[in-house]
């Protein structure tokens, strides 16, 4: 069996680029918001969901979510 860590290398490369960008955030809150957005788009990409459709769906339905069940 051949060991292949290409997926892990690719994932960590994109994370390190974003991590460097967080260093230049003006505040902790700004860095946290950027991390949330980055995470959302990464999940969409992994699930093969159009991120803009996913964001649109999320924003339209966020008020109807029972946050106590999350």
Q: Any long-range contacts for 36-45 (C-beta under 8 Å, 24+ apart)?
A: 42/14
Tell me the mean pLDDT in the region 39-46: 81
Q: Is the CB of residue 31 less than 8 Å from the CB of residue 25?
A: yes
High-pLDDT (> 70) share of the chain, %: 64
Tell me the mean pLDDT in the region 5-12: 62
* Its pTM surpasses 0.75: no
Q: How far is CA 18 from CA 4, 28, 31, 70, in A?
A: 24, 14, 10, 27
């Amino acid at each position: 069996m051949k060991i292949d860590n290409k997926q892990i290398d690719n994932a960590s490369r994109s994370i390190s680029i974003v991590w460097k960008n967080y260093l230049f955030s003006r505040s902790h809150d700004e860095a946290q918001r950027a991390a949330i957005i980055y995470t959302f788009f990464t999940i969409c990409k992994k699930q093969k969901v159009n991120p803009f459709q996913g964001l649109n769906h999320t924003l339209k339905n966020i008020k109807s979510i029972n946050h106590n069940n999350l």
